Amino acid sequence: MRWMKSWAKIARRVRLRRSGTSFFFFDFFFLRSASFVFVLLLLPLLGGIARPQETTLRSQSNVVLVPTLVKDQEGGIVYGLQANDFIVEDDGVEQMARLDEAPEGQPISLVVAIQRGRRAAYEFPRMQGLRTMLDPLFVQGTARVAVLEFDSQVEQTRGFTKDASLVEDDLQNLQPGDDGAAILDAVDAAVKLLKQEPEGRLRVLLLISETRDHGSHVKIENAVAAIGQSNAVMYALAFSPALSNILDTGRGNNMNEMHPGINFLDLLYQTSQAMRKNVPHTIASMTGGEYELFATRKKFEVRMNDFTNHLHSRYLLSFAPKDPHAGLHQIRVRLRTPSGDVVLARSSYWAEGIK
Q: Higher confidence at residue 129 or residue 120? A: 120
- C-alpha 282/C-alpha 211 separation (Å) is 10
pLDDT in tens, 91-126: 999 999 999 876 666 799 999 999 999 999 999 999
- Number of Cβ within 10 Å of residue 159's Cβ equals 12
Q: What is the average pLDDT score of the chain?
A: 77
For residue 35, pLDDT beyond 70: no
**Residue 135 identity:** D
- C-alpha 179/C-alpha 259 separation (Å) is 16
pLDDT in tens, 4-17: 444 444 434 433 33
- Average pLDDT, stretch 175-193? 97
CA 172 to chain centre: 24
Q: Where in the chain is the domain with CATH 3.40.50.410?
A: 108-310
- Burial-class residue 47 by CB neighbours within 10 Å (0-12, 13-18, 19+): exposed
pLDDT at 63: 82
Task: Go through 330-342 and write b for each residue having 16 or more CB atoms within 10 A of its CB, e for each that does not.
Answer: ebebebeeeeebe
- Average pLDDT, stretch 175-183? 97
Q: Higher confidence at residue 350 or residue 204? A: 204
Sign of the CA dihedral with 252 first, then 257, 259, and 263 last: negative
pLDDT at 23: 39
CATH number of 108-310: 3.40.50.410
Beta strand pairing call for 98-100 and 315-319 = antiparallel
Put simply, whether the predicted model's pTM sits higher than 0.85 gets the answer no
